[in-house]
Amino acid sequence: MADGTMTGRRPMRHAGRVATHVVLIIGAIVMVGPFVWQLLTSLKAFSETTRVPPTFLPDRWEWSNYLQVFDLLPLGDMFRNTVLMTAGRTLAQLAFCSLAAYAFARLRFRGNNLLFGLFLSVLMVPSQLFLIPQYVIVQDLGWVNTLPGLIVPGMFSAFGTFLLRQFFLALPRDMEEAARLDGANPLQVFWHVALPLARPGLLALTILTALWSWNDFMYPLVVTTDPAKMPLSAGLGTLQGEHFTDYSILMAGSALATAPMVVAFILLQRHFIQGIAFTGSKG
């Protein structure tokens, strides 16, 4: 632990500590306050949301707002689409990226540097550059408004390959050498030795891919037009665009859409933060 600002004597130190907490608490209110307001609004009647000055707690707790969102939107379908899209992309990336990453980290093959360079170039290019051709491919395959359309292009990732390659490169080689001397082929070494050791990397990739898939917006907006086939992000976009401005309902919908990731974050907090910090130090 480094100590950057507290170098004064005791009373000053105490005053400094109090000031620190005051600043941090104000910051925390700014960061979390909007979410509290979202939840409170989602439980008010429409007429109450348009009252000036606003009420803090709802006069009457309208839990039915959360049921009403389901009437306005095929929210159940959207939840299913989002879960399947997120799971499909994440599982596929774990499998495909770890295989490719291990090959790049450990195996010498013809053209590996050229190929890795091409992978890296994909990392540099903004997603907008792939979007039109991806849309054309999805359309040609008849995958508009389907789960494969939502999932398949997201199954492959240059970022994931790069991230896991860094993990494999950092592993000590002796265990793999030993396994190879015992007659294991590269796939067996990968599966039995390297992959278990790279678990922190796999976890980081899982969290990052799941988060990005759950929240992905522009791509689903392009490849789905039927609300029942949309994931939550695109679905909420159309809810706000096409329907009225009943903010209690809109807040109920947005709270429901974010809840799963927030719960996952609370449960796996340390891993979320480590995953993010890891991309920071290795990026």
Partner 1 sequence: MIAPTTIGLAIFYLWPIAQMFYYSFTESGPFGGQTWIGAENYRALLAEPSVFQSVLNTLVYTVIQLAGIPLAVLFATLLNQRGLRGRSVYRALYFLPVVTMPVAVAMLWRWMYNGDYGLVNYLLSLIGLRGTHWASDPAVALYAVAAIGIWMSLGYNLVIFLAGLQGIPAEYYEAAAIDGSGAVRTFARITVPLLSPSIFFATVLTVINSLQMFDLAYMMMSTPGSAAGSGNPALPRVRTISYLFYQKAFVEHDLGFGAAIAFVLLGFILVMTLIQFRLQKRWVHYG
Residues 106-165 that bind partner 1 (CB under 8 A): 107, 115, 118-119, 121-122, 124-137, 152-153, 155-158, 161
Nearer to partner 1, 87 or 218 (CB): 218
Interacting residue with partner 1 among 120, 218, 226, 267 (CB under 8 A):
218
Q: How far is the CB of 276 from partner 1 (least distance, A)?
A: 5
Q: How far apart are CA 27 and CA 33, in angstroms?
A: 10
Q: Based on the number of CB atoms within 10 Å of its own CB, is 122 exposed (0-12), middle (13-18) or buried (19 or more)? A: middle
Q: Which of 84, 96, 148, 228 binds partner 1 (CB under 8 A)?
A: 96
38 binds partner 1 per the rule CB under 8 A:
yes
Shortest Cβ 177–partner 1 spacing (Å): 18
Q: How far apart, in whole angstroms, are the C-alpha atoms of residue 97 and residue 94?
A: 6
Q: CB–CB of 249/43 below 8 Å?
A: no
Residues in the chain: 283
Tokens standing for residue 276: 């993010």
Is residue 258 at the binding interface for partner 1, with CB under 8 A as the rule? yes
Distance, C-alpha 82 to centroid of its chain = 12
Q: Residue from 214, 227, 229, 230 that binds partner 1 (CB under 8 A)?
A: 214
Q: CB nearer to partner 1: give 30 or 181.
A: 30
Closest contact distance (angstroms) between CB of 61 and partner 1 is 18
CB 167 within 8 A of CB 194: no
Contact flag: residue 52 with partner 1 (CB under 8 A):
yes
Q: Measure the CA angle with vertex 233, ends 54 and 43; round to 5°.
A: 25
State yes or no: residue 43 binds partner 1 (CB under 8 A).
no
Interface with partner 1 (CB under 8 A), residue from 9, 10, 31, 71? 31
14 near partner 1, judged by CB under 8 A: no
Tokens of residue 21, six digits? 């907490």
Q: Which two tokens stand for residue 277?
A: 């910090």
Show Cβ contacts of residue 13 under 8 Å, excluding neighbours closer than 6 positions. 6
* Whole-number Å distance between alpha carbons of 28 and 49: 25
Residue 170 near partner 1 by CB under 8 A: no
CA gyration radius, the chain: 24
CB 213 within 8 A of CB 89: yes
Q: Smallest gap, in angstroms, from Cβ of residue 87 to partner 1?
A: 17
Place of tokens 């396994």: 179
7 makes contact with partner 1 (CB under 8 A) = yes
**Is 61 one of the binding residues for partner 1 (CB under 8 A)?**
no
Smallest gap, in angstroms, from Cβ of residue 164 to partner 1? 10
198 binds partner 1 (CB under 8 A): no
Q: Which part of the chain contacts partner 1 (CB under 8 A), choosing from 62-70, 73-81, 173-181, 249-257? A: 249-257
User: Quick check: 168 binds partner 1 (CB under 8 A)?
Assistant: no
